[in-house]
Each structure stands twice: as C-alpha cells, then as structure tokens.
Structure 1
Amino acid sequence: MRAFIFPGQGSQSVGMGKTLAETSPAARAVLEEVDAALGQSLARLMAEGPADELTLTENAQPAIMANAIATLRAAGIDLAGKARFVAGHSLGEYTALCAAGTFDLTTTARLLKTRGLAMQAAVPVGDGAMAALLGADLAVAQAVVDAAAQGEVCAVANDNDPSQVVISGSKAAVERALEIAKEKGAKRAILLPVSAPFHCALMQPAADAMAGALAGVAMAPPAVPLYANVTAEPVESVDTIRELLIEQVTGIVRWRESVANMAAAGVTHFVEFGGKVLGPMVKRIAPDAQVTNVVTMDDIDALVKEI
C-alpha cells in the first residue's frame, strides 16, 4: 500500500522545475497555469532565481506546490489507482489536496500566495523565531517550551520525527528555549533562518485570513483520504478539511504521528513528489517502509516502471 507525500517550505531551490518543464508538456502546463493564476512569472523565478526572492514565503509556497504537482503530472499517474492516502507537510497539505482533486491547480496557487503573504505579515520581522531541537522527542520539546514561555508564546510547531522537533514563538522565548533544551537533554538546539514564527498562536491573523480565503473556494472530496497535519488522522469531509486547514496555520504539524498512523494502517511505500526532505523523516519514523523520492525525469521514469 502506498501514500503519496508532498514537502513543505524549505525544499525550494533555484533551478526547480526547469528540466521538467523543458522535457514534459504536462509539467510545463502546470507551471504555465500557476503563472497565469498568480499574474507573475513564478516559473522563471523557480528556474533562474534569485534565491532570496524565491525564498520569500509568498513565492516559496506556491513554487514548491507547483514543482511537486508538475512532477506528479509528468509521471502521468492515476493517483487514486496507485495511492491509498495523501499527506503533506504544512503547505504540502495544500499540494496533497490539489493532487487528490480537492482544489484545482489555479485555486491552490492563489490560496498559497494568500497564505504566504498572510503568514509573513502576521508578525513583524524580528519579533518571532523558530528553532530545531535535535535529539529531542515531543515530550522533551513540550517541556522545553513550557519552561521557556514565561508569559510569552512558545510552542511546538513541527513534530517531524522521533529525533527532530521544531519550536516557534516570540524571539525572546525561543532564545530562552535554546538554553533550556540543552539542560533537558537535547543534543543540539539551533535557530532556523526563517522570517516568521510559523505554526504557533502568533499566526492567528494569518489563520483569520485563510478562513476568509477558504470560505469562498470550490472544494471536492479528495480522491483518497488526506492524513491531516493537526489531527494525524485520515479525513475526507470537505467541511472538516476546510476547518483543519485554518487550524493548521497556528497548530502543530503532527508529521511523526501521521506517518506512524499511515504505516499502522498498512502503508509500506511512501512516495515523495518534488523533494527529498520528507523521505529521511519517514525512515526514522517507519524504518521498514520503502521510500521513493521523485524529483528528476529519471526518478519519474523509474517510478512509472515500478508501479
């Protein structure tokens, strides 16, 4: 049994999508549709940079989605016939829903542009921070943020795998957490080069913006169930998906639990489209699972032959 999974922010790189678009008409059509939806040449930015502009949240989010969907469509795979579930990390949840037919491509691109702008605008630059706790599990991370908050926002943002948890919040609280993490046994605690504190209560203005954006869009039930970030459980109801996408902006990404629950449900093969970020996490969560990363045309050709 397979699950198709889709990466989140941080997986962008200059050159992404370029060879796909040159080689596959289906991939090129994806990038052209996204450009038209956004009224900008995102495909050129993806192919040529500059890197600092591509890394901007408002560009990185639709770019990562476009690249993953281009990869999937270049493969020409019938998702419902080849995958039992879909899942995505943070913004990757929108990609997963696009792949499963809940949102069309144009809608997905516009939602992610709105989401990126709203998340960036929610907190003034410099007021928030995020940090990765390495060699720490969820229980340790929760103890760290509880001790570090001291009346400010400090929360677990991403429970990525058994040895990597990301925290988020006000800058002072996250900086306190760096020292506390070492005292509580984390191997390393490092600030992340991000422009905003994602997946914590400081993102409430962005959650409100997404509530408005999602209220008016057409949605269809996904072709296969989505394992949702905030519940780590499968969901198919359109109304529930909408609510969870809003909650996701401020809520924890329960990736470790999602993968573990998919494995417990019988998934033995995880296929990551458009990146190589989630695969290593999956192997740390479900060591016996097969993981395939699909990024290049050679990867696509190998996958098509395999499945």
Structure 2
Amino acid sequence: MARAATLEASSMAAVVGGEQEIVLDHLTNLGLFAANYNGKGQIVAAGSSAKIQELIDSPPPGTRVVGLAVAGAFHTSFMETAKVELGSLASSIRTENPKLLLWSNSDGARVDSGDKFLELLINQVSNPVRWDLTMDSMVSYGVSAVIELLPGGTLTGIAKRAMPGVATLALKSPEDLEKAVAFVREQV
C-alpha cells in the first residue's frame, strides 16, 4: 500500500455531518470515492490530493470536512496495484477456518471460512470499509463489548454512539493490553 500511495498524489478527508445521499453525490461530482462509511454522519472521502482540497474548500451543505494525515487514498482504486501484489503474495498462504467469530468490514457479514477471510482482506485494500454495516451486524448478533486495537480511539467513539449499551475499550499503546485483559474479564 505504501508503494501504491507513491504512484499518484492522493489523500483522504473525513466528512462529518450532512445527509448521506447529498454527501455521496457531492463526492461523485468531485470525482472522489467514499472510502469509509464509519457510521451515521461520517464518511471518509478519498481521491487525488487536488480533489480532496476542493472538497475541503467547498464542503457539502451541513458538513465539516477534516483532512486526514495519511499517505494516500486507501480503500479505493488508487490501491489497485497493492491489491494485485497482496493477492500474489497471499497465493502461498494456507488458511484455516477461524475459531472465533469474525466480521468482514467490507459488508458487515460474519466470516467463517479462512479462504473467504483472506479473499476479503485482499479485496479490502481497494474497496470501501463498511464499519457502519459491521456495527449493525454485531448489534444484531448481540455483541456486548468491543475492543479497538492500536492505535485506537476513532472507531470506539463511533461505536459508542451507534451501539448503545455495548461496552467499548480503545487500546492506545501496548501498555493498554493489561486494561484489555481486565476489560474482557469484566465482560464474561
């Protein structure tokens, strides 16, 4: 992904607020992609650096746009070369089916096949993250607690709003692992 990010100047920006359809139309009109659907009221846009700057300068109605300090337009076609390279590397990996529940953040569905998980992981490089659908699935399944891995915080904040009653913990440093162990013990 790092190599793919150097091929063309690209970036990302969080679009906070506004009506989703209006935001998506605005992105399309600018030639940008919705790279992350983080939850109600937050979509991350990605595309050329110039188009991201246009979005920042002229946001959709009722929104606030925040440029992100990232190296490229991840989860879009800008990462297609990385997807191809990852697919090639992954061809030698032997998978096993997961022993714990996994959810795909490409469509929010549960994944019970190791081969399917690997395929989704490869495709995720150049396709949008659907954290919104993942949270919906976890709530439907009855998940009672969520731990966000390093560097944590952003998704935990979104989950607190979208998943009322679900306990959350964001790991911000390796030292927080002890907090995670205690958190898990409290949940069982």
**TM-score when normalising by structure 1:** 0.55
Structure 1 residues 273 and 196: CA distance shift in structure 2, 3 A: closer
Greater fraction strand: 2
Q: Which residue is equivalent to 1:38?
A: none
Distance 1:147 1:279, change over 3 A: same
Aligned-residue offset at 1:296: 2.2
Structure 2 equivalent of residue 120 of structure 1: 2
The one-letter code of the counterpart of 1:259 is M
Counterpart CA distance in 2 for 1:284 and 1:257 is: 14
Identify, as 1 or 2, the structure richer in helix.
1
Q: 2:28 aligns with which of 139, 142, 146?
A: 146
Query: What is the rounded CA distance, in whole Å, between the counterparts of 1:138 and 1:205 in structure 2?
Result: 29
User: For each residue in 1:230-281, what CA deviation from the matched residue of structure 2 results, as whole angstroms up to 9, or x when unmatched?
Assistant: 1111111222222211210111000011012110121122233443332211
Q: Quote how far apart the aligned CAs of 1:287 are.
A: 2.1
For 2:176, the equivalent position in structure 1 comes to: 296
Flag the 1:267–1:301 CA change in 2: closer, same or farther, 3 A. closer
Match of 2:104 in 1: 228
Report how far residue 224 of structure 1 moved. Answer: 2.0
Contact 1:131–1:174 (CA under 8 A) maintained in structure 2:
yes
Counterpart CA distance in 2 for 1:256 and 1:123 is 25
User: CA offsets, 1:6-41, max 9 Å, x none?
Assistant: xxxxxxxxxxxxxxxxxxxxxxxxxxxxxxxxxxxx
For the pair 1:242 / 2:122, whether they are aligned, the reply is no
Gaps of 5+ in 1: 1-118
State the one-letter code of the partner of 2:123: E
CA distance in 1, matches of 2:185, 2:165: 22
- Say which of 198, 203, 212 aligns to 2:74: 198
Q: Which runs of 5+ in 2 are unaligned?
A: none
Shift of 1:125: 6.7
How far the C-alpha of 1:123 sits from its partner, in A, is 3.5
CA distance in 2, matches of 1:144, 1:216: 41
The percent of aligned pairs where both chains have the same amino acid is 27
For 1:130, what is the secondary structure of its paired residue? strand
Q: For the Cα contact (< 8 Å) 2:169–2:180, is it kept in 1?
A: no
Q: CA deviation at 1:304?
A: 5.1
Q: Deviations over 1:78-117 (max 9, x none)?
A: xxxxxxxxxxxxxxxxxxxxxxxxxxxxxxxxxxxxxxxx
Q: How many residues align?
A: 183
Instruction: Output the CA distance in 2 between the equivalents of 1:203 and 1:297.
Output: 32
Cα distance, 1:297–1:130 mapped onto 2, change above 3 Å: closer
Q: TM-score, normalised by structure 2?
A: 0.86
Aligned AA (2:49): K
Whichever of the two has the greater Rg, that structure is 1
Q: Secondary structure at the match of 2:157?
A: helix
- 2: distance between equivalents of 1:192 and 1:158? 13
The correspondence for 1:181, drawn from 41, 51, 59, is 59
The secondary structure found in structure 2 opposite 1:190 is strand
Q: Which residue does 1:167 correspond to in 2?
A: 45
C-alpha distance 147-238 of structure 1, shift in aligned 2 (>3 A): same
Structure 1 residue 297: Cα displacement: 5.4
Which of structures 1 and 2 has the larger relative contact order (alpha carbons within 8 angstroms, sep 6+)? Answer: 1
